[in-house]
Amino acid sequence: MNEVVRLVQSFGEWRAAARDLIARGVPPASVQWQSTAGDGDLFSIAPAAPDPAPGNAPMLRLPRSLVELLESAACFNVIDRWAFLYQVLWRWQQGQHDVISPADADGSRLHGMAKAVRREEHDMHAYVRFREREEAQGAPRFVAWFEPVHDVLPQVARHFARRMGPISWMIATPGATMMWDGETLHAGPALMRGAADIDDAGEALWLTYYRSIFNPARLNADLLRSHIPSRFWKNLPEGAIVPAMVSSAANGERRTGQTATVGQRSGAAIIPISAERAQPVREVATTLDQCRRCDLWKSATQAVPGVGPQQAKIMLVGEQPGDQEDLAGLPFVGPAGAVLERAMLEAGVARDNIYLTNAVKHFKWEPRGKRRLHKTPAQREIAACHDWLEQELASVKPQVIVALGSTALKSVLQDGAATMTPLIGTPVQHDGRWVVTVYHPSYVLRAPDEENKRQAYRVIVDGLRQALQLINGGSFAGNVAAT
């Protein structure tokens, strides 16, 4: 039975062999890969495929991402790595490009191998500990021992060569050794663990410092173990003292550390402070466009101020600008404004004689596809914007305020618990002004049926007529003062 046996010990050797096998059309099942003479890593042997006709060898073209994955996975220490990598390469050359997808069985394994190798490189960067010789005499100045799970020593050595500059060092592992003479990296055979066992005065100083900063009162042993896997502790200098320190903390030093430090504190008086005084000092906004008292300005096009005569006797206060008002910069110009216009016309109220504004000056909305849908302002946003409404009330001095909806009523009365139902049809006095409560015009548009629409619209018309009667000296039985 014919077979193809390839002896490789590095990614470079595997790449050259794989390129030749691909060119001759040899399938993975016909190849037995060996890392050392006499040791195969793929035990199934099949007859070799016949050589293709001259000139028919396929050209091997691979994306950079696949080459990098193969090179990284080649460091994964498993017996069939070369056979597996050739299987991936063969499938790619056969047009099965999903072989590098994590959703593919081979692709998933390939990515997992590369990820494990990258993790091992990171761990080696973090947990290699160099010891310094007192007199180098031509030998490396710093020596370290590490036991990597995968074959990552060459790339890790390049990392330390860049980091340590001209300082000479050596890293010994159970499989190989890398030495840096300040200019060139040299690969060597494996050494015994004792090659890195040298006395280091700096290590003793480090352990003294480590003991001094250890606080048993703040020890979290589970977190400590999860951050540093157990296989690294035996090669860390502090690994020799940490178990005893953890044991001492569990046997009472944790409690002693807490009471010793807390008992030395004389204590401090805690002075109560109000939430208002705790706020940072901010520059007071002088115009509505500068207002940053809440976050609604961030998603609004612009602030929408009130409009109308500066000495209007009636002020209509809505909830907030809508989508069209936000774009136009004017209140009540959208569909709800059209309903309000019709109601004022039926009630005999001229729009030119009315001051129109909103309790909240920025449009609050949430996305729904390509549309911006209205979202009810929160109480903190109503409170943040109330100062602007107070300025309008002080400037216009209306005799009657018509609150259009619940948000407007809460802002006008400065009562977050105020409800509309008891006040509809019953004007009340607040701060020397009459307050008439009606539905917001948008409620007419979204009412569930025609009967509710007619009823809501009638409440708005009747409320506007009540406002006219009040400025003309009318009175209503049963009126109560708002508190």
For residue 29, the enclosing domain spans 4-122
Cβ neighbourhood burial of 164 (10 Å; 0-12, 13-18, 19+): middle
Q: Clarify whether residues 432 and 293 are in a common domain.
A: yes
CATH of residue 325: 3.40.470.10
Q: Clarify whether residues 360 and 425 are in a common domain.
A: yes
Q: Clarify whether residues 83 and 137 are in a common domain.
A: no
Does the structure show a pLDDT above 60 at 45? no
Residue 404 lies in a domain: yes
For the segment 270-292, the average pLDDT, to the nearest whole number, is: 71
Residue 61 lies in a domain: yes
Q: Clarify whether residues 135 and 105 are in a common domain.
A: no
Q: Clarify whether residues 173 and 205 are in a common domain.
A: no
Q: How many domains does the chain have?
A: 4
What pLDDT is attached to residue 275? 64
Listed residue (159, 153, 158, 200) closest to 174, CA to CA: 153
Q: Clarify whether residues 363 and 228 are in a common domain.
A: no
Residue 370 lies in a domain: yes
Q: Clarify whether residues 76 and 147 are in a common domain.
A: no
Q: Clarify whether residues 89 and 228 are in a common domain.
A: no
Q: Clarify whether residues 52 and 134 are in a common domain.
A: no
Residue 408 lies in a domain: yes
* Backbone phi, psi, residue 466, to 5°: -65, -40
Does the structure show a pLDDT above 50 at 31? yes
Which stretches within 45-186 are classed as H helix?
A: 64-73, 81-93, 105-127, 153-164
Q: What percent of the chain has pLDDT over 70?
A: 83
Does the structure show a pLDDT above 70 at 43? no
User: Over the stretch 441-453, which tens digit does the pLDDT of each residue have?
Assistant: 999 999 989 999 9
Q: Clarify whether residues 98 and 171 are in a common domain.
A: no
User: Over the stretch 54-108, which tens digit does the pLDDT of each residue have?
Assistant: 444 455 788 999 999 999 999 999 999 999 999 999 999 999 999 999 999 999 9
Does the structure show a pLDDT above 90 at 7? no
Q: Which residues contact 321 (CB under 8 A, 6 or more apart)?
A: 300, 304, 331, 358, 360, 361, 362, 363
Q: Clarify whether residues 54 and 31 are in a common domain.
A: yes
What pLDDT is attached to residue 474? 63
Q: Clarify whether residues 313 and 454 are in a common domain.
A: yes
Residue 273 lies in a domain: no
Cβ neighbourhood burial of 34 (10 Å; 0-12, 13-18, 19+): middle
The answer to pTM > 0.85 is no
Residue 483 lies in a domain: no
